[in-house]
Chains A and B, each alone.
Chain A
Amino acid sequence: MAAEATNVGNTAINIGIFAAFVAVTLVIVFRVSRQNKSAADFYAGGRNFTGTQNGTAIAGDYLSAASFLGIAGAIAVNGYDGFLYSIGFLVAWLVALLLVAELLRNTGKFTMADVLSFRLKQRPIRLAAALSTLAVVFFYLLAQMAGAGGLVALLLGITDKAGQGLVIAVVGALMILYVLVGGMKGTTWVQIIKATLLILGAGAMTIWVLATFGFNLSAVMQEAVNMAGDKGEAILEPGLQYGATALSQLDFLSLALALVLGTAGLPHVLTRFYTVPSAKEARKSVVVAIWLIGIFYLFTLVLGYGAAALVGPETILAAPGGQNSAAPLLAFQLGGEILLGIIAAVAFATILAVVAGLTITAATSFAHDIYASIIKKGQVAPDGEVRVARWTVVVIGIIAIIGGIFANGQNIAFLVALAFCVAASANLPTIIYSLFWKRFNTSGALWSIYGGLISTVVLIIFSPVVSGKPADPVTGLSKSMISNPAIDFHWFPLDNPGIVTIPLAFVLGIVGTYLSKERSHPEKYAEMEVRSLTGAGAEKATAH
């Protein structure tokens, strides 16, 4: 049965549907990008998207392959704990809705650094904010591209590394084309189309699964219990994945904290708030995104248990993509080659769209914060800045391709959690202090950003995810990134450092602020506060 499962689907159908998606989106990208002229067009889509459009695009950005394939797979294999994981991703949006989205839209232009440098010293703050932005994007990007390799193996039946590398390169090249041609406008439309397909596809599968069991969720879960073998009833209860030891419980708390506080600090989420004309539309974006993301995670609950019930965890784990193959295998079980082809194409589109969103964010940050503000000290023509942004897109695309090829097959699933942890530690405290704390100053911001960034990266390097997990008795390999069990330099016990680094970054922001003799700027804070709440002087949409 397991051998059979490694060769499901029809490669021609999978590729055909994906090619159709690429063709349709390319036409749209070319059409919408004819009006791309100014920096506001390239970086922020002319700020002309409606709240509903942008909210759908946010859902498209956020529902990455890790969310779609990862969570459905985690529920299929580990039951309740996979569901637990998805809740942190959803609740996190309330931080963005209540504290960040509207105020950020009212005070910034293109990047997070715009808001921070409003009343703090321009150059050091922009550099720090750009570095932490680039770090988050790099970790997130690498995770997406490495995931692409596994997906290729599963969906196209390509098992040799060279063939997979070629597909990764094609995905990367397509992404560069989308972003270069379409800028933020084209990227946003790709996200909207992809989010719509993903949610419709998952919704159809959910109804299908429920219909199979007479619309009784309890019956789906009962069948999942029956299929789970010796795990049995444990998949209905918390603790299968995270509850083994006191340490793994603490590790989960740490992860939960990073998830809930990280989202509102993710740079590719923050830049999306600038693509709408007003704070009111930014609010609506988040409201729409919360509904779409929430409904999608409810679907994954059904899909996860449905995959466990209809496919079975043993078959899932034996498939080439392992846990990630739960949703595609369920699609095949339900609707055969055609439904698998659609879901496979959506999964590819997901990687393509998320990588495009990350790339344009990184390019914006580099061109706007580092090149224009720091290197050129603001003395640069807007089209010069956009030209640099375009070159940055090419460079980042190439880095993503090379990184994806090297990381292919590596155990780097922790990179997404790491990106959330850096966002929660290095970005969120400074954004919150900057918006709400009058006394806050440059020194506090630098302590918090660099402290959060460095502590997270250092603790990860010396954690069990990089080295020192016990060797697997079957393969003799460690589950750490460095799979040789003889190499062990870890001294930090947790996989997720958030429980240490997030409070640390908040405290460093306070300590750094009080240690500095920097003069405060009450007039700047007054301007920021008035503008953030009233929208006076906020960037307007470009007229066409």
Chain B
Amino acid sequence: MSDVQASGPAETDYQRVERSDEFQSLRKAFRNFVFPMTALFLVWYLLYVLMSTYAHDFMSIRVGGTITVGLIFGLLQFVSTFVITTVYARWANDKFDARAKALREEIEGGEL
């Protein structure tokens, strides 16, 4: 809070953290992971719902016995949900948490 040259209201500690390179790169890493992943699963789910609704004949093709393309497609939605969950949890545990924790300790320790 030593910089008193600025004419606007004094900058808060949180704003200074927000501006820091460390936080900006943390935020970027989070958004770069989460936003494309959200777009991906929403598009994949909507594709499935639209196909089930409007591509009846394709979804009804038998691939063996009573197993249809639609059933496989539906089961793949389960698989993709489990995979995205696992990939995200691993990324967050291995890559994100340590950086967030370091920054949190700096903030709570008053170092920033």
Binding site for B on A (CB under 8 A): 80, 83-84, 87-88, 90-91, 93-95, 97-99, 102, 217-219, 221-222, 225, 236-239, 242-243, 249, 252-253, 256, 260, 280, 283-284, 286-287, 290-291, 294, 297-298, 522-523, 526-527, 529-531, 533-537
Leading 5 A-B pairs by shortest Cβ distance: A218-B65, A221-B66, A237-B60, A526-B18, A527-B14
Q: Can you show 25 pairs from A to B with CB atoms below 8 A apart?
A: A80-B68, A83-B71, A83-B74, A84-B49, A84-B74, A87-B48, A94-B37, A99-B38, A221-B65, A225-B66, A236-B66, A237-B68, A249-B54, A253-B53, A287-B86, A290-B82, A523-B14, A527-B12, A530-B14, A533-B23, A533-B26, A535-B104, A536-B103, A536-B107, A537-B108
Q: Report which residue of B18, B67, B103 has the largest number of chain A beta carbons within 10 angstroms of its beta carbon.
A: B18
Q: Which residue of B lies closest to A242 (CB)?
A: B53
Check B78 against A523 for contact (C-beta < 8 Å). Answer: no
B27/A533 in contact, CB under 8 A = yes
Structural contact, A530 and B23, CB atoms closer than 8 A: yes
- Chain B interface residue count: which class? 35 or more
A243 to chain B: closest residue by CB: B56
A256 to B47, CA, bound (A): 11
Q: How many A-B residue contacts, CB cutoff 8 Å?
A: 151
CB interface residues, B 1-30, toward A, < 8 Å: 9, 11-12, 14-15, 17-18, 23, 26-27, 30
Closest to A528 in B: B14
DSSP majority for the A interface? helix
Taking CB atoms, residues of chain B closer than 8 Å to A242 are 53
- In the complex, chain A residues whose CB is within 8 Å of the CB of B74: 80, 83-84, 87
Closest CB of chain B to A272's CB: distance in Å?
17
Give Cα A87 to B46, complex, Å: 11
**CB-based contact A238/B56 at 8 Å:** yes
Assuming the contacts A243-B53, A530-B23, A534-B107, asked whether A236 and B68 have C-beta atoms less than 8 A apart, the reply is yes
Cβ contact within 8 Å between A530 and B107: yes
Contact A218 B67 (CB under 8 A): yes
CA distance A80 to B49 in the complex (A): 12
Cα A533 to Cα B50 in complex, Å, equals 35
> Could you say which residues of chain A place their CB within 8 Å of the CB of B89?
283-284, 287
Is A526 a contact of B17 with CB atoms below 8 Å? yes
A43 CB to closest chain B CB, in angstroms?
Answer: 24
Query: Do A294 and B26 touch (CB < 8 A)?
Result: no
Determine whether the beta carbon of A80 is less than 8 Å from that of B71: yes
Assembly CA distance A236 to B63 (angstroms):
12
Q: Which residue of B lies closest to A216 (CB)?
A: B65
B45 engages A99 (CB within 8 Å): no
Q: Shortest CB–CB separation between residue B100 and chain A, in angstroms?
A: 5
Complex alpha-carbon distance, A98 and B34, angstroms = 6
B93 to nearest A CB, angstroms? 8
Chain B's nearest CB lies how many Å from the CB of A210? 14
Interface contact A237-B56, CB-CB below 8 Å: yes
Task: List B contacts of A90 (CB < 8 A).
Answer: 77-78, 81
Query: Do B49 and A256 touch across chains, with their CB atoms under 8 A apart?
Result: yes
| B:42-101 near A, CB below 8 Å | 42, 45-46, 48-50, 52-54, 56, 59-60, 62, 64-68, 70-71, 74, 77-78, 81-82, 84-86, 88-89, 92-93, 97, 100-101
Residues of A within 8 A of B100 (CB): 533-535
Which chain A residue shows the least CB distance to B97?
A280
C-alpha spacing A485/B37, complex, angstroms: 47
Distance (Å) between the CB of A471 and the closest chain B CB?
A: 27
> If the complex has contacts A87-B48, A526-B15, A533-B100, are A260 and B85 also in contact, measured as CB distance less than 8 A?
no
